Structure 1
Amino acid sequence: MELLLLSNSTQHGRGYLEHVLDTVAGFVGGSGSRLAFVPYALADHDGYTDRVRAALEPVGISVRGVHEGADPVAELAAADAVFVGGGNSFRLLGALYRTGLRDALRAAVRDGLRYMGASAGTNMAAPTLRTTNDMPIVQPPSFEALGFVPFQINPHYLDPDPSSTHKGETREVRLTEFLEENDVPVLGLREGAWLRVSDGRAVVDGVPEGARPGRLFRRGAEPAELAAGTDLSELLAAQPRFDCPGY
C-alpha cells in the first residue's frame, strides 16, 4: 500500500501544494500521470478541482474530479493515484458513503492505487474520524473511515501556547481525552508535515518552521516528539481498541 498523508495542503506564505510539490509529483508519478481528485470535503466541487488542477498540471499531472463523470467510482480505474482533499471531515465521510467511494477506495488502494490525502483526506486514512478537528456539520452513517493505517491521525496539530489567555481545551487536552476512552495511538502532524507509508514502512517527514514534524500520543505515556525521518513502522501493527459499538 502506497500512502502520502499530508497535514495541510496550504502552507503560510505559499501557494496551494507549493510546499510539497516535489514530494507530491514524485508520489503521483510525475509528468504524464493521471490523478483522480475527490473534492467532497468542500461544497464547491468544481472550484476545488480547478485549484488542484492549477497546482499540478504545470508539473505534467492531469487532474480529473471524480464528480465530473457519471460514476465517481469508475473514475478510480482510470487514475494512477487518488487525492482526497481537505475541508470538513464529516461532510467528506458522508459523501464517501453516499457515492460508494468508501468501499471502492478501500478496495482500489489495497489493490495498488496510490492514495494521497490532505487534512480531512488524511483523517480518512485512519480507522475513524474521531480525532478530526472539524465540527460535525453533517452526520455520516458511521464514524468508520478507510482504515488504511491502524492508528489515528490529527492533522494541523497545534502545540499548547503557554502565553495564551484562552482557557478552553488545547489540542493536547482533547487528544488525551480521546485516549481516556480509546486505546489507540494518535499521530499529531504539525503544519508542513506528512506521513509516507510504503511497502510496510511508515515514516514521518516534512520540516515545519520552528518545530518537529510530529508528536505521538499513547495511552498512559507522555507525548513523544518526532523528528523528520522518524520510522513509525511499528504503528502499522497496532491493535486499536475503540469505545465504538460495532467497530
Structure 2
Amino acid sequence: MVDSQILAMGGGGFSMEPDNPLLDDYLLSLAPAGRTPRVCFVPTASGDSEGYSEKFLAAFGPERAEATVLSLFNRTVADLDEFVLEQDIIYVGGGNTANLLAVWRVHGLDTALAKAYREGVILAGISAGMNCWFEASVTDSFDTNSLAPLPDGLGLLPGSACPHYDGEALRRGTYLDLVQNDFPAGYAAEDGAALHFTNGNLTTVVSSRPQATAYKITPGPTHPSEHPLPTKYLGTTPA
C-alpha cells in the first residue's frame, strides 16, 4: 500500500526564495528513489502565468527534475487522469484560491488529483497551493485588500489552512477570529514553513528559515489556542 502525501507550504520555494532551495529540495527528496523525479507545475491560481511557469522550469532544470507545466487556460492534455498519474509530484502555485478551485472542477482536475493522491502521487503547493487541499481556508480571492473564509476546498486534508501567517498583516488576526467563531480548526504556516502530511496525518513541519514555524489553531473557551508545532530547520544553524 502506497502512502498519500501532501506538502503544504505557507510561503517560500522557488517563487518566493529563489536563492534558497531548501523547501523545494525537501519536496524532491520525497519522490521515489532511483530515477529523476517527474514534477508537474500547476499555475491555475495565477491564470497560468507564463512568467511563473518559466521561473518553475528554471528552478527545476534537468539536473533536478523532469519538469512539466499543466495549463488549463490553454489546455493541451486530453486525459488529465492519465497525465497526473504519470507524475511523481504535483506542485501547485499561488494566486487566487477560489478561481483555482472553480477551474479545476470545470475541467475535472479535482477528481484526477484526488485519485492520484490515493495512488501515491505527492501533492504540494504554496499559498493557494496550500489552501486547496484542505476543507476550508482564509483567502484574498474576493478582494486583494481583505481576507475572507472559503469553506470550499478539496477536503483531502481535514480542517482549515492559513498560509503567509507572518508575511501579511491581516492573516493572523483574521484566522484566529474565524476559528474562534465556528470556522474549522486547522493549521497556519509562516513564510518558509511547510507541513508534511502522510495519509491525512501531520508527520513533520520543516522550514527554510531558522525562525519559521507553523501552528495548530483551535477554538478556546474565550480566545483561540495558537499552538506552535515542532519544526525542523532544513539548513545549517550557525554556531
- TM-score, normalised relative to structure 2: 0.77
Go from structure 1 to structure 2 and tell me whether the alpha carbon gap of 1:199 and 1:215 turns closer, same or farther (over 3 Å shift).
Answer: closer
Counterpart in the other structure of 1:35: 39
Paired with 2:16 and 2:133, the residues of 1 have a C-alpha distance of 27
| Structure with more contact order per residue of length (Cα contacts < 8 Å, sep ≥ 6) | 2
Q: CA deviation at 1:90?
A: 1.7
SS at match of 1:182: coil
CA distance in 2, matches of 1:158, 1:201: 24
Percent sequence identity is 23
Q: CA RMSD in A?
A: 2.9
Unaligned runs of 5+ in 2: 144-149, 233-239
Is the counterpart of residue 213 in structure 1 residue 213 in structure 2?
Answer: yes
Aligned equivalents of 2:173, 2:183: Cα separation in 1: 16
Q: Structure 2 vs 1, CA of residues 144 and 39 (structure 1 numbering), >3 Å: closer, same or farther? A: same
Q: Distance in 2 between matches of 1:125 and 1:12?
A: 20
Query: Match of 2:206, as an amino acid?
Result: D
In structure 2, C-alpha distance between the alignment counterparts of 1:43 and 1:17, rounded to whole Å: 25
Residues in 2 aligned to 1:14 and 1:83: alpha-carbon distance in whole angstroms: 16
1:98 to 88, 106, 110: 106
Say if 1:49 and 1:64, in contact at 8 Å, map to a contact too: no
**1:85 paired residue among 93, 110, 120:** 93
Q: 1:22 aligns with which of 17, 25, 30?
A: 25
Comparing 45-54 with 32-41, greater Cα deviation is found at 45-54
Q: Is it true that 1:60 corresponds to 2:64 in the alignment?
A: yes
Q: What CA distance in whole angstroms lies between the structure 2 residues aligned with 1:15 and 1:186?
A: 28
Give me the whole-angstrom Cα distance separating, in 2, the residues matched to 1:16 and 1:143.
35
Structure 2 residue aligned with 1:127? 135
Q: Name the CA distance, whole Å, in 1 between partners of 2:214 and 2:47.
A: 30
Deviations 1:27-79 (A, max 9, x none): 23475221222110112443322211111125431111122633261420221
**One-letter code of the match for 2:46?**
L
Distance in 2 (CA, whole Å) between partners of 1:215 and 1:7 is: 11
Worse-superposed segment, 90-99 or 173-182: 173-182
Q: What is the CA-CA distance between 1:26 and the residue it aligns to?
A: 0.6
Partner secondary structure for residue 26 of structure 2: helix
Give the structure 1 partner of residue 125 of structure 2: 117
- 8 Å CA contact 2:189, 2:214 repeated in 1: yes
Q: State how far apart, in whole Å, the 2-side matches of 1:120 and 1:150 are.
A: 16
Deviations 1:137-159 (A, max 9, x none): 6xxxx842221211211111028
> Which letter does structure 2 place at the counterpart of 1:135?
S
Match status 1:146 vs 2:146: no
CA distance in 2, matches of 1:18, 1:96: 28
Alignment map for 1:173-184 (pairs within 5 Å) = 173-182=173-182, 184=184
Q: Which residue of 2 aligns with 1:195?
A: 195
CA distance in 1, matches of 2:154, 2:166: 24
The residue that corresponds to 1:204 in the other structure is: 205
Give the count of matched residue pairs: 215
Match of 2:142, SS state, is coil
1:37–1:14: structure 2 CA closer, same or farther, 3 Å change rule?
closer
For the residue of structure 2 that corresponds to 1:41, the secondary structure is helix
Corresponding residue number in structure 2 for 1:227: 230
Question: TM-score of the superposition, structure 1-length normalised?
Answer: 0.75
Deviation at 1:15, TM superposition (A): 0.8
